[in-house]
Every structure is written in structure tokens, then in C-alpha cells.
């Protein structure tokens, strides 16, 4: 029984990371109705940035974190401005191609620049664990989890209590009317995309406290993030959070009960179940 | 099974239709009949449920209670493509042309339902094109033609499926009076061929002149039914529209 | 059959086909032959993708699963039961079709990104299934024993492979052409343009999408069987990868989505460069091919959504406009 509890706790901590990654994705979808297939690659990029923060400046990834977030924001802003925006005005296949192309480009560039070697940051607190009632909790994972919660809270406050945030919400609800109300929707898109990537920046930097990076690290995170978003309801922030936790636990327990390789299959099974019984996701997101 | 009326069997019947969305009663115990060659107007304030009725009839929604009968057959619960195959065609409030195809190809695609060979479908399409006066537009890309043509295209497509009952959803919206009159002429000629038509309309000019009968829907309920003249004088109808702008 | 219009395009295509037919007689380098076979194979697979993606508008990124099913079916049947891959290929196509129909069913109601997720998910699941399935050697992969023979579809030289895949490509394109001319083709196009409108004009969208899935899967499987007999080694991570599915889409989209010659053009442009990168660079620089592919997809997504044929059309329109003007002046002077 203890092992299952351990698996559940691990799952929750893992789920926090999934939630964080999923939040950026669901935000972009909610406002721009586009799925950023390159989202995983963005996480990977953030992780490399944090790694180089350590390799060149000796920064702990949590110190690099704000810088990574800002760099990713700027990257996202201009990416939207020069690339993604064009695909929004093109036929349906364009959105798919634009972000998939970006994913392929980033992953292969990473392979060329930094090789497929796994890179990790040795941290003094990297192996600290504390013991609560027989369950081991990894310190860095716990910190990352707290950061994820903080980030989610921060985003919630931003969207509901600032001018910019409310403008973003308005644009998400109805692009045309937001435009008529004087909101510069193009600018909102850029900021939203930048914000979405900044959040992956936070996720990536946090991940570097206990994980390792390699060019394709983003792919399984991305796939899981999509499933989390669908589970929680596309466009719903609280859905992304809850969905992340659920998937995290399901994967963790499932990996223990069945086999680690089946992580993706389990997530996929969840995905199917959601689509069948509750297509809008747990919180009834935006399906169109 | 409904008892058959010997005198004049209705082509289409809605029997006690109700539809809820969550807790909201969108349609409440609506019943009406449509006869062949009739043009019936379906009017009512915004949000009354007119398009919902169309979606219910054409199978995009399923009623919670009640039945639909077409040519004596119970068609409740059939899928949209089956409803079309039974002989009920519709247009959409927001036009939905097959954008990358030409106007001609759009109509041919619709005609393929009853004419499996391309050649026959094309012949049928040309007949419809003549009827709907779209001759000058046949090679234009459907996505790029102006709105009045898109609306006529939608109408032509519904016709091309061999519909015996046409559901027209606000065909007059967005058209100027001249275009409306043009459209009405076409609708009338179609009606003369024996096709029954239900028209949802906000533009009173369009429907009051052409319809033989009017149904009035308000908050999901049928509040009045009668000739255009009697409806125009009906106190309940006027009350339902009070505070509502409508074009006459 | 419609009358063939004789113009610049027809002439170009005739030249292309002529070159393709006599290619093995001119080219002797095994590397170039290998590239040529790869081009034709991916043109074939891109064409199969186009049936669901281009024609019916269902962007499936799970087609590599069927590619793999085909490869595994014919290989297993050959190795364990001694059945000729020619027959195994057809059986593989049958199994892949059935799989597509079954797997396609839950996806029929899915739209946009949901559909794409779904296809990625099921392909990944199938890949994991094959990876952990002992009977098909799972993660060890299968090496096809090298014994030449027509009935084994294994040959010493590359020429037979070239002509086989060329034949398959022609057959595949003919199938696509026939579909487009048929009621099924027009219905699939309608589904692509507007699923709801298609239903409103009497189209059983679920049925036609299923047809498209099944036919595409069958062709994919045949391509997979060919691949197995050509490369003589199969492994789930190799064949059933998302990367492969992306390339199938890339080929079709680069040439011009939904166009009959799209995949062939796309393969002609992309695969030689891809092969060049793959064979010249190893290790970390193997990624250069994907960098290139990624850039192409990105370009298509942003500036050239209709691919190479789309650009060709634009150029053609500009040319026609100027010749039209010229023609007008001529007519007026004749009056």
C-alpha cells in the first residue's frame, strides 16, 4: 500500500509539471485557437537555456528561471509576429504545418548544436528528500511543484485583475467584439504567445533541477500536455491544472502497476475516454 | 402512429416537440403541420428558437420529447444526412458554401445524392442553375462570390438534393430589397413545382407577402398561427415583438 | 476519361515520366538509385496520405502505423510461414484497412486538433505495442534474410525495386485519380470543405471518411511491405514513428495539398536533399535533413500553403493575364 501511496505522491509532483506545461498550451489555444505543436520543443529550449545558465554562469536553474522566462517571452512574441500570424490567415493545413515545422526545426537544430548527449545540472540539493509518514518526497520536485502552483495563481490573478489580462480574456471570448472594443488583437496574440512560452520557460527551468535535457525531451511532455489540456477542457486554466494532476497520478500509478513504457498508452486511453464521455473536458472547455 | 387524415394528409408534422439544453427549455411542446405546395413563415423575436427548430427537424439536435413525421414516416432521431435523403433540405443562417469549389461544382455535389453519375448530376445542376438564376456565376469560386450569390447557392444546393420540403433560414438577411424580391420570385417558382417551404425570417417584407401561413414562436413556444394578415393584428404577437426592432 | 489538354504542364509531365522510366538505364550509381527509389516510395506514401489529408481534409499524423502494419505483416508471414511477400503485402493491406476502419470509428466525430491528437495517440500506442510484443521480435527488430528471388521480392540489383515501386506509384496515383472523379471523391472534398454542410446535402460523412481511411491505410501497408523487402530490416521505432507520419504529410503538402501530382513533386524536391543529408552526415548532423524538412514545412505553413503547385498556379495566372491582354489587343485590331 505504501508503494502505491508513493506512486500517487510522485504522480502529483509530476502532475504539477504537466499542469504547468499544459497551462501555456491551453492559454494559446484559448486565445488564438491554435495548437502549438512546438510546445514540447519550447520546453526543451527552456531547459537548454537553464542548462547554459549553469554551464556559463554557474547559475542554479532556479536563479536562471526569471531570465529564461523573459527570453522565452521575447522569443514567443516575435515568433508570433513574424511566423505564426501568417499561418492564421491561411488555409487550415497551415496552422498544423507552421508549428510542426517549428518543432522539427528546433529539435533538429538542438541535435546539431548540442548533440544527443543527456545534459543535467548537478545540484547540492538535487538528491535531498524528506520523509513524511513513510513517503519520500524529492525536494527539487517539491519546489518545482510549488512553483507550478505559484505560476498558476499568478496567471489567474493576471488574467482577472489586470487590464492586459482582461483584454486577453476578452479576445479569447470573441475576437471580433474585442477588436470593436478597441483591443489591438494582433498585439494580444503576440503577448499571449509570449506568455505561453514564458510559462514553458518556468517549467523548463524548474525541470532542470531534477531532470536531464536532450533534443527530444520535449516530445513526451508535449504529448502529455495535449492530453492534459483536452482532459481539462481546452482553454480552461483550472482544467489544465486538474488534468495535469490526474494524468500525473495515472501515469505514475500505471507505470508501477503495468509497465513504464505504457505511460503514453495510459494517457491516450484517458484521452479517448474523455473524448467519448465528456468531449468538452472536465470543465467543459472550448471545443471549436 | 398518427391517425391519418383522409382529406389532406400533411407532408410534414411536428408533434409535441420539446428540447432542453441543460436546464434551459429551448423548445416547449411545439406542434404544427406543413402541407404540400405551402409556403409557411416561421417568425418570432431573437432567441425564440427558430433555428433550433430547424436543427431539430434536420437531425442536428435530437428532441427530448415529441416526434417528427415526414410523408407519414417517423423521422425523429435520424441523422442529418438521412433526413436529407428522406427529402428535407435546408439552408443555413450563416452561409456554408464549399468554398474552394466553383458554384457549379457545389451544386453538382449536392445533386449527386439523387443522380449518381457525374453526367446526370451535372444536367440536374444546370436545371437548378436556371431555376435559381445563377447562370452568370457557375465558374466562380464559391468562397469568393458576394453574399446574395452565396445565399442563392445554398438554396440551389438544397434544391439539388431533391428536397420536397425546404427549410430556409433567414435567406433575406443581409440582402437589399431588390435582391430580396429577386429571391422571393425564385422561391415562389419553386413552390409552384410542389415543394413545401418553411421560411424563418426576421425581414417581414420577405415573409408576409409570400407566405400563406405564419407560425409565431416566442421563448420556444408556438404563440400564434394563421394568415399573415391575422398575425399582423394579433395582440400576442405584437407584444412578443414589443421593444424589438424589425424591418417591415 | 476526359480529354487531355495539351499545354506546358502536360508536356512537362510527359518529359518527367519519360525520364522516370528510363532512369535506371542512365543512372548506374547505387547511391543515386537508392535516392530514386526513396523518392518514388515516398511519393507513393505521400499519395496515400493525400487521400485522407488532402482529399478529405483529415490531417492524420498516424499513418505510419499502417505503414508498419504492412511491413510487419508481410515480413512475419514470410519468415514464420514462408508466404511470399507479394501475397503478404495484400494481406497486410487487408489488415491495415480493417485496423483503419476500427481505429477510425472513434475518430469520426473529432474535429481539428482533436483528430490530430487522436491519430498521433493511436500511432504511438501501436508503436509501443509492437515494441513490447515478443512474437514480432519487438525492440530487437526483424532482419529479413537475404535470399534473392522474384517470389521473395528480394533482388540483387536495385533496378527491379525501382520498377516495382514505380509501378506501385502509378497504380496509387491512378487510384487517387479514379477516386477524385467518382462520387466518393466529390463527397470527400465536400467533407473537407465543410463537414456540416456535407451532412446537410445528404452525405454520410462517417461512411466516406471511413472509406478514405481504409483505402489510404491499405496503400500505406503496401508501401511498408515494399520497404521491408528493400531495406531488409524493420523496427517499430524506425517505421512507426511520428517523424515518418510527418514526412508523409510534408511530401504531400510541399507538392501541393490535395493535388494529384503533389506528392510526386514534393518527393522529387524533398527526398533527394533528405537522402543527401542522411547519408553524408552521421551522428548529430543527421539532423540537418530534418532542419531542412522543418524549414520547408514552416514555409508552407506561413507563406506557401498550397505548396509548389500552388506557386506554379500563381505564376500561371500571372502569365495568362498578360497573354490575355495581348490577345484582346489583337482582336480589336482585327475588327
User: With bands split at pLDDT 50, 70 and 90, how would you rate the model's confidence at C190?
Assistant: very high
Chain centre distance of CA A55: 24
| Cross-chain residue pair C305–A275, CB shorter than 8 Å | no
Chain C nearest CA to A283, separation (Å): 16
Closest chain C residue by Cα to residue B107: C201
Query: What pLDDT is attached to residue C74?
Result: 93
Share of chain C above pLDDT 70, in %: 93
Q: Which residue has the cell 502529455?
A: A224
> Is the CB of A258 inside 8 Å of chain C's CB atoms?
no
User: With bands split at pLDDT 50, 70 and 90, how would you rate the model's confidence at B199?
Assistant: very high
Chain centre distance of CA A183: 27
- The DSSP string of A60-92 is -HHHHHHHHHHHHHHHHHHHIIIIIHHHHTS-H
Query: Across residues A192-220, what is the average pLDDT?
Result: 92
Query: Across residues B48-76, what is the average pLDDT?
Result: 93
| Cross-chain residue pair A93–C121, CB shorter than 8 Å | no
- Pick from C257, C295, C303: CB nearest A105: C295
Q: Which residue has the cell 465543410?
A: C194
Closest chain C residue by Cα to residue A33: C113
Closest chain C residue by Cα to residue B100: C193
| Cross-chain residue pair B92–C204, CB shorter than 8 Å | no
CA distance C177 to C171: 10
Closest chain C residue by Cα to residue A80: C302
Model confidence at C217: pLDDT above 80: yes
Model confidence at C277: pLDDT above 90: no
Specify if A6 maps to a domain.
Answer: no
Which range among A98-107, A121-130, C44-53, C77-86 shows the weakest confidence by mean pLDDT?
A121-130
Model confidence at C328: pLDDT above 70: no
Closest chain C residue by Cα to residue B91: C200
Share of chain A above pLDDT 70, in %: 97
Check: CB of residue A230 under 8 Å from CB of residue A275. yes
Q: Give chain B's mean pLDDT.
A: 89
Specify if A172 maps to a domain.
Answer: yes
Query: Across residues C238-249, what is the average pLDDT?
Result: 89
Q: What is the pLDDT of residues C96-148, one digit of tens each?
A: 999 999 988 888 888 778 888 889 888 988 998 898 888 888 888 888 888 88
> Is the CB of A214 inside 8 Å of chain C's CB atoms?
no
Closest CA to C219 of C97, C74, C116: C97
Query: Across residues B65-85, what is the average pLDDT?
Result: 95
Closest chain A residue by Cα to residue C103: A272
Query: What pLDDT is attached to residue C42?
Result: 96
Model confidence at C201: pLDDT above 50: yes
Q: What is the pLDDT of residues B147-193, one digit of tens each?
A: 999 999 999 999 999 999 999 999 988 888 899 999 999 999 999 99
CA distance C99 to B226: 56
Closest CA to B36 of B69, B60, B71, B4: B71
b/e burial code for range C121-151 (CB count within 10 A of at least 16 → b): bbbbbbbbbbbeeeebbeeeebebeeeeeee
Query: What pLDDT is attached to residue C211?
Result: 95
User: With bands split at pLDDT 50, 70 and 90, how would you rate the model's confidence at C3?
Assistant: low
| Cross-chain residue pair A287–C296, CB shorter than 8 Å | no
Query: Across residues A217-232, what is the average pLDDT?
Result: 87
> Is the CB of C187 inside 8 Å of chain B's CB atoms?
yes
- Pick from C57, C287, C294: CB nearest A101: C294
Chain B residues whose beta carbon lies within 8 Å of the beta carbon of residue C189: 98, 100-101, 109
Q: What is the pLDDT of residues A228-244, one digit of tens each?
A: 988 888 778 888 889 99
> Is the CB of C294 inside 8 Å of chain A's CB atoms?
yes
Question: Looking at chain A, how many residues does it have?
Answer: 288
| Cross-chain residue pair C202–B118, CB shorter than 8 Å | no
CA distance A155 to A22: 13
Task: Name the CA radius of gyration of chain A, rounded.
Answer: 18
Specify if A266 maps to a domain.
Answer: no
User: With bands split at pLDDT 50, 70 and 90, how would you rate the model's confidence at A125?
Assistant: confident
Between C110 and C231, name the one with better pLDDT: C231
- Pick from C196, C202, C204: CB nearest B161: C202
Which residues, at least 6 apart from C43, have a Cβ–Cβ distance to it below 8 Å?
C169, C251, C263, C264, C266, C267, C268
Closest CA to C63 of C141, C124, C137: C124
Q: Which of A108, A220, A225 to mutate to test the interface with C (most CBs of C within 10 A)?
A: A108
> Is the CB of B49 inside 8 Å of chain C's CB atoms?
no
Q: How many structural domains compose chain A?
A: 1
Q: Return the partners of chain A (3 or more C-beta pairs < 8 Å).
A: C
For the ranges B124-128, C83-87, C109-113, the maximum mean pLDDT occurs at: B124-128
Query: What pLDDT is attached to residue C191?
Result: 95
Check: CB of residue C192 under 8 Å from CB of residue B98. no
Q: What is the pLDDT of residues A258-269, one digit of tens each?
A: 777 777 777 788
User: With bands split at pLDDT 50, 70 and 90, how would you rate the model's confidence at C324?
Assistant: low
Check: CB of residue A112 under 8 Å from CB of residue C287. yes
| Cross-chain residue pair B100–C183, CB shorter than 8 Å | no
Query: What pLDDT is attached to residue A43?
Result: 95
- Pick from C181, C199, C201: CB nearest B109: C201
CA distance C236 to C72: 9
CA distance B24 to B19: 9
> Is the CB of C175 inside 8 Å of chain A's CB atoms?
no
Closest chain C residue by Cα to residue A259: C132
Check: CB of residue C159 under 8 Å from CB of residue C24. yes
Which range among B232-241, C199-208, C260-269 shows the weakest confidence by mean pLDDT?
B232-241
* Helix extents (H) in A181-262: 185-207, 218-232, 237-257
What does the H/E/C string look like for chain B? CCCCCCCCCCCEEEEEEEEEECCEEEEEEEEEEECCCCEEEEECCCCCCHHHHHHHHCCCCCCCEEEEEECCEECCCCCHHHHHHHCEEECCCCCCCCCCCEHHHHHHHHHCCCCCCHHHHHHHHHHHHHHCCCHHHCCCEHHHCCHHHHHHHHHHHHHHCCCCEEEEECCCCCCCHHHHHHHHHHHHHHHHCCCEEEEECCCHHHHHHHCCEEEEEECCEEEEEECHHHHHHCHHHHHHHCCCCCCC
Model confidence at C326: pLDDT above 50: no
Among A residues 143-182, those touching chain C with beta carbons less than 8 Å apart: none
Specify if A262 maps to a domain.
Answer: no
Specify if A268 maps to a domain.
Answer: no
Range of the domain at A52: 21-216
User: With bands split at pLDDT 50, 70 and 90, how would you rate the model's confidence at A287?
Assistant: very low
Domains of chain C from N-terminus onward:
28-270 (1.10.3470)
Model confidence at A285: pLDDT above 60: no
| Cross-chain residue pair A288–C287, CB shorter than 8 Å | no
CA distance A181 to A173: 13
Residue B86 burial (CB count, 10 A): 17
Q: Which whole-number Å values give the CA distances from C49 to A205, B101, C163, C223, C330, in the listed order?
A: 38, 21, 22, 12, 46
DSSP 8-state assignment for residue C283: G
Q: Cell for A249?
A: 497520478
Chain C residues whose beta carbon lies within 8 Å of the beta carbon of residue B161: 201-202
Query: Across residues A140-148, what is the average pLDDT?
Result: 89
| Cross-chain residue pair C283–A112, CB shorter than 8 Å | no
> Is the CB of C301 inside 8 Å of chain A's CB atoms?
yes
> Is the CB of B92 inside 8 Å of chain C's CB atoms?
yes
Residue C330: CA count within 13 A, CB half-sphere: 6
Query: Across residues A107-117, what is the average pLDDT?
Result: 89
Q: Which of C184, C202, C205, C257 to mutate to test the interface with B (most CBs of B within 10 A)?
A: C202
Query: What pLDDT is attached to residue C4?
Result: 61
Chain B nearest CA to C286, separation (Å): 39
Check: CB of residue A193 under 8 Å from CB of residue A84. yes
User: With bands split at pLDDT 50, 70 and 90, how would you rate the model's confidence at C303?
Assistant: confident
ipTM of the complex: 0.90
Query: What pLDDT is attached to residue B5?
Result: 42
Chain C nearest CA to B79, separation (Å): 9
pTM for this prediction: 0.88
Specify if A138 maps to a domain.
Answer: yes
Model confidence at B2: pLDDT above 60: no
| Cross-chain residue pair A104–C299, CB shorter than 8 Å | no
CA distance C208 to A129: 57
Closest chain C residue by Cα to residue A99: C298
Query: What pLDDT is attached to residue C220?
Result: 97
Query: What pLDDT is attached to residue C112?
Result: 79
Share of chain B above pLDDT 90, in %: 71
Q: Give chain A's mean pLDDT.
A: 87
Check: CB of residue C240 under 8 Å from CB of residue C67. yes
Chain B nearest CA to C221, separation (Å): 31
| Cross-chain residue pair C121–A86, CB shorter than 8 Å | no
CA distance A2 to B204: 73
Q: What is the pLDDT of residues A60-111, one digit of tens each?
A: 989 999 999 999 999 999 999 998 888 887 777 888 888 888 998 999 899 8
Amino acid at each position: 500500500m505504501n508503494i502505491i501511496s508513493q506512486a500517487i505522491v510522485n504522480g502529483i509532483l509530476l502532475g504539477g509539471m504537466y499542469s504547468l506545461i499544459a497551462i501555456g498550451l491551453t492559454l494559446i489555444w484559448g486565445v488564438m485557437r491554435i495548437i502549438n505543436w512546438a510546445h514540447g520543443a519550447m520546453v526543451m529550449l527552456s531547459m537548454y537555456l537553464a542548462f547554459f545558465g549553469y554551464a556559463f554562469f554557474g547559475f542554479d536553474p532556479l536563479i536562471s528561471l526569471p531570465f529564461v522566462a523573459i527570453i522565452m517571452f521575447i522569443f514567443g512574441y516575435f515568433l508570433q509576429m513574424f511566423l505564426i500570424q501568417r499561418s492564421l490567415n491561411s488555409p487550415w493545413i497551415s496552422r498544423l504545418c507552421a508549428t510542426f515545422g517549428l518543432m522539427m526545426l528546433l529539435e533538429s537544430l538542438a541535435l546539431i548544436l548540442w548533440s544527443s548527449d543527456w545534459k543535467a545540472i548537478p545540484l547540492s540539493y538535487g538528491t535531498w528528500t524528506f520523509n513524511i509518514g513513510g513517503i519520500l518526497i524529492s525536494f527539487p520536485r517539491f519546489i518545482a511543484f510549488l512553483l507550478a502552483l505559484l505560476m498558476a495563481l499568478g496567471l489567474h490573478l493576471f488574467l482577472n485583475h489586470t487590464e492586459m489580462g482582461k483584454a486577453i480574456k476578452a479576445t479569447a471570448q470573441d475576437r471580433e467584439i474585442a477588436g470593436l472594443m478597441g483591443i489591438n488583437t494582433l498585439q494580444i496574440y503576440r503577448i499571449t504567445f509570449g506568455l505561453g512560452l514564458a510559462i514553458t520557460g518556468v517549467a523548463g527551468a524548474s525541470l532542470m533541477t531534477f531532470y536531464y535535457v536532450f533534443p527530444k525531451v520535449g516530445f513526451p511532455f508535449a504529448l502529455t500536455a495535449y492530453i492534459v489540456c483536452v482532459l481539462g477542457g481546452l482553454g480552461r486554466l483550472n482544467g489544465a491544472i486538474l488534468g495535469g494532476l490526474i494524468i500525473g497520478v495515472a501515469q505514475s500509478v500505471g507505470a508501477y502497476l503495468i509497465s513504464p513504457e505504457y505511460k503514453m498508452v495510459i494517457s491516450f486511453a484517458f484521452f479517448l475516454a474523455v473524448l467519448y464521455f465528456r468531449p468538452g473536458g472536465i470543465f467543459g472547455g472550448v471545443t471549436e | 402512429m398518427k391517425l391519418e387524415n383522409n382529406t389532406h394528409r400533411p407532408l410534414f408534422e411536428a408533434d409535441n416537440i420539446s428540447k432542453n439544453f441543460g436546464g434551459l427549455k429551448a423548445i416547449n411542446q411545439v406542434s404544427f403541420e406543413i402541407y404540400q405546395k405551402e409556403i409557411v413563415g416561421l417568425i418570432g423575436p431573437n432567441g425564440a428558437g427558430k433555428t433550433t427548430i430547424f436543427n431539430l427537424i434536420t437531425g442536428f439536435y435530437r428532441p427530448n420529447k415529441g416526434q417528427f413525421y415526414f410523408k407519414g414516416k417517423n423521422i425523429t432521431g435520424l441523422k442529418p444526412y438521412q433526413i436529407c435523403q428522406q427529402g428535407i433540405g435546408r439552408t443555413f443562417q450563416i452561409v456554408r458554401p464549399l468554398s474552394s469549389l466553383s458554384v457549379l461544382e457545389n451544386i453538382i455535389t449536392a445533386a449527386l445524392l439523387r443522380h449518381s453519375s457525374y453526367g446526370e448530376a451535372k444536367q440536374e445542376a444546370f436545371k437548378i442553375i436556371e431555376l435559381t438564376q445563377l447562370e452568370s456565376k457557375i465558374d466562380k469560386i464559391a468562397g469568393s462570390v458576394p453574399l446574395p450569390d452565396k445565399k442563392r447557392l445554398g438554396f440551389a444546393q438544397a434544391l439539388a438534393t431533391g428536397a420536397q420540403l425546404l427549410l430556409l433560414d433567414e435567406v433575406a438577411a443581409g440582402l437589399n430589397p431588390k435582391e430580396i424580391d429577386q429571391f422571393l420570385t425564385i422561391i415562389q417558382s419553386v413552390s409552384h413545382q410542389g415543394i413545401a417551404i418553411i421560411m424563418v425570417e426576421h425581414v417581414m417584407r420577405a415573409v408576409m407577402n409570400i407566405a400563406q401561413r405564419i407560425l409565431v414562436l416566442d421563448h420556444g413556444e408556438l404563440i400564434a398561427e394563421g394568415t399573415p394578415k391575422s398575425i399582423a393584428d394579433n395582440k400576442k404577437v405584437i407584444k412578443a415583438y414589443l421593444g424589438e426592432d424589425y424591418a417591415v | 476519361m476526359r480529354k487531355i489538354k495539351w499545354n506546358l504542364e502536360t508536356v512537362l509531365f510527359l518529359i518527367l515520366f519519360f525520364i522516370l522510366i528510363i532512369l535506371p538505364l542512365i543512372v548506374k550509381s547505387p547511391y543515386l538509385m537508392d535516392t530514386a527509389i526513396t523518392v518514388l516510395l515516398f511519393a507513393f506514401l505521400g499519395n496515400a496520405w493525400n487521400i485522407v489529408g488532402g482529399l478529405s481534409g483529415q490531417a492524420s499524423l498516424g499513418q505510419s502505423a499502417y505503414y508498419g502494419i504492412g511491413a510487419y505483416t508481410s515480413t512475419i508471414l514470410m519468415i514464420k510461414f514462408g508466404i511470399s511477400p507479394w501475397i503478404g503485402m495484400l494481406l497486410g493491406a487487408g489488415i491495415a484497412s480493417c485496423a483503419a476502419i476500427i481505429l477510425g470509428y472513434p475518430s469520426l466525430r473529432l474535429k481539428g486538433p482533436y483528430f490530430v491528437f487522436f491519430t498521433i495517440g493511436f500511432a504511438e500506442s501501436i508503436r509501443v505495442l509492437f515494441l513490447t510484443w515478443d512474437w514480432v521480435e519487438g525492440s530487437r527488430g526483424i532482419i529479413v534474410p537475404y535470399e534473392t528471388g522474384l517470389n521473395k521480392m528480394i533482388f540483387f540489383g536495385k533496378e527491379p525495386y525501382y520498377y516495382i515501386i514505380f509501378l506501385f506509384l502509378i497504380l496509387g496515383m491512378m487510384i487517387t485519380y479514379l477516386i477524385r472523379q467518382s462520387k466518393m471523391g466529390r463527397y470527400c472534398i465536400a467533407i473537407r470543405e465543410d463537414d456540416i454542410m456535407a451532412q446537410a446535402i445528404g452525405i454520410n460523412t462517417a461512411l466516406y471518411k471511413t472509406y478514405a481511411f481504409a483505402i489510404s491505410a491499405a496503400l500505406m501497408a503496401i508501401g511498408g511491405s515494399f520497404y521491408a523487402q528493400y531495406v531488409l530490416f524493420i523496427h517499430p521505432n524506425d517505421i512507426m514513428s511520428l517523424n515518418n507520419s510527418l514526412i508523409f504529410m510534408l511530401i504531400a503538402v510541399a507538392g501541393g495539398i490535395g493535388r494529384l501530382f503533389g506528392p510526386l513533386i514534393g518527393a522529387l524536391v524533398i527526398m533527394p536533399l533528405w537522402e543527401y543529408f542522411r547519408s553524408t552526415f552521421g551522428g548529430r548532423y543527421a539532423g540537418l535533413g530534418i532542419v531542412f524538412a522543418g524549414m520547408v514545412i514552416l514555409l508552407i505553413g506561413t507563406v506557401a500553403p498550397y505548396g509548389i503547385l500552388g506557386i506554379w498556379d500563381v505564376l500561371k495566372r500571372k502569365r495568362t493575364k498578360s497573354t490575355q491582354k495581348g490577345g484582346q489587343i489583337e482582336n480589336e485590331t482585327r475588327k
